[in-house]
A and B are shown apart, each in its own frame.
Chain A
Amino acid sequence: MLCQECGKRPATLHFTKIVNGEKTEFHICEACAREKGELIPGTSGGFSIHNLLSGLLDFGPGGQAQGNKSPEHLRCEECGLTYSQFSKIGRFGCSSCYKYFNDRLDPLFKRVHGNTMHVGKVPKRVGSHIQVKRKLDELRKELQYRIHQEEFEEAAALRDQIRELEKNISAE
Chain B
Amino acid sequence: MTKLRFTEQPLSEWMRSGGKESEIVISSRVRIARNLQNQPFPMLATNQQSEEVLNQLQSVLEDEQMEQFGQLSPILLAELDELDKKVLVEKHLISPNLAGESRSGAVFISDDESLSIMVNEEDHLRIQCLYPGLQIEEAWEKATSVDDIFEAHVDYAFDDNRGFLTSCPTNVGTGLRASVMMHLPALVLTQQINRILSAVSQVGLTVRGIYGEGSEATGNLFQISNQITLGQSESEIIENLYSVVMQIIEHEKSSRERLMSESRLRMTDRVMRSYGILSYAAVIDSKEAAQRLSDVRLGVDLGLIDNLSVQVLNELNVLTQPGFLQKKFQVSMSPGERDMYRAKLIREQLGK
Partners in one complex: yes
Q: Does B198 make an interface contact (CB < 8 A)?
A: yes
Contacts A41-B211, A120-B173 given; indicate if A92 touches B41 (C-beta within 8 A). Answer: yes
Contact indicator A81/B228 (Cβ below 8 Å): no
Q: Which interface class (under 10, 10 to 19, 20 to 34, 35 or more) fits A?
A: 35 or more
Chain B: minimal CB distance from A172 (Å): 15
Contact indicator A113/B229 (Cβ below 8 Å): yes
8 Å CB contacts to B: which residues of A59-118?
78-79, 81, 89-95, 98-99, 105, 108-109, 112-118
Contact indicator B231/A116 (Cβ below 8 Å): yes
Instruction: Please choose the segment from B70-78, B94-102, B244-252, B258-266 that sits at the chain A interface, where 4 or more of its residues have CB less than 8 A away.
Output: B94-102
Q: Which residue of A lies closest to B166 (CB)?
A: A92
- Given A99, A108, A114, which contacts B228 in the complex, CB threshold below 8 Å? A114
Contact indicator A116/B40 (Cβ below 8 Å): no
Q: Which residue of A lies closest to B96 (CB)?
A: A42
B122: chain A residues at CB < 8 Å are: 91
Contact with A along B192-205 (1 / 0, CB 8 A): 00100110000010
Contact indicator A113/B41 (Cβ below 8 Å): no
Chain A: minimal CB distance from B197 (Å): 8
Contact indicator A94/B44 (Cβ below 8 Å): yes
Contact indicator B214/A46 (Cβ below 8 Å): yes
Main SS of the interface on chain B?
loop
Q: Does B275 make an interface contact (CB < 8 A)?
A: no
Q: Does B155 make an interface contact (CB < 8 A)?
A: yes
8 Å CB contacts to A: which residues of B270-289?
285, 287
A124: chain B residues at CB < 8 Å are: 148, 151-152
Q: Does A16 make an interface contact (CB < 8 A)?
A: yes
A53: chain B residues at CB < 8 Å are: 168-170
Q: Does A125 make an interface contact (CB < 8 A)?
A: yes
Q: Does A130 make an interface contact (CB < 8 A)?
A: yes
Most chain B Cβ neighbours within 10 Å, of A90, A94, A124 = A94
B44: chain A residues at CB < 8 Å are: 79, 81, 93-94
Q: Which residue of A lies closest to B159 (CB)?
A: A98
Main SS of the interface on chain A?
loop
B99: chain A residues at CB < 8 Å are: 42
Contact with B along A118-153 (1 / 0, CB 8 A): 111111111100100100000000000000000000
Q: Does B162 make an interface contact (CB < 8 A)?
A: yes
Contact indicator B155/A126 (Cβ below 8 Å): yes
Contacts A90-B168, A115-B231, A120-B234 given; indicate if A44 touches B176 (C-beta within 8 A). Answer: no
Q: Does B64 make an interface contact (CB < 8 A)?
A: no
Most chain A Cβ neighbours within 10 Å, of B165, B168, B211, B214 = B214
B18: chain A residues at CB < 8 Å are: none
Contact indicator B170/A49 (Cβ below 8 Å): yes
A94: chain B residues at CB < 8 Å are: 39-41, 44
8 Å CB contacts to A: which residues of B131-156?
144, 147-148, 151-152, 155-156
Contact indicator A91/B96 (Cβ below 8 Å): no
Contact indicator A91/B167 (Cβ below 8 Å): yes
Chain A: minimal CB distance from B184 (Å): 14
- Given A43, A98, A122, which contacts B100 in the complex, CB threshold below 8 Å? A43
- Given B156, B169, B229, which contacts A126 in the complex, CB threshold below 8 Å? B156
Contact indicator A119/B231 (Cβ below 8 Å): yes
Q: How far is the CA of A98 from the CA of B100 in the complex (A)?
A: 27
B211: chain A residues at CB < 8 Å are: 41-42
Contacts A49-B170, A93-B41, A109-B230 given; indicate if A21 touches B194 (C-beta within 8 A). Answer: yes
Q: Does B190 make an interface contact (CB < 8 A)?
A: no
Q: Which residue of B lies closest to A53 (CB)?
A: B169
B213: chain A residues at CB < 8 Å are: 41, 48-49
Contact indicator B228/A115 (Cβ below 8 Å): yes
Q: Does B19 make an interface contact (CB < 8 A)?
A: no
8 Å CB contacts to A: which residues of B22-81?
35, 37, 39-41, 43-44
Q: How far is the CA of A18 from the CA of B215 in the complex (A)?
A: 11
Closest 4 CB pairs of A and B: A115-B231, A118-B163, A41-B215, A95-B157
Q: Known pairs A18-B194, A81-B44, A113-B172; list 15 more (Cβ under 8 Å).
A: A41-B212, A41-B216, A42-B100, A49-B168, A94-B41, A95-B35, A95-B41, A109-B172, A113-B227, A113-B230, A114-B231, A118-B162, A118-B172, A118-B230, A120-B174
A-B contact pairs, 6 of them (CB 8 A): A16-B217, A41-B216, A79-B44, A92-B166, A118-B160, A120-B163
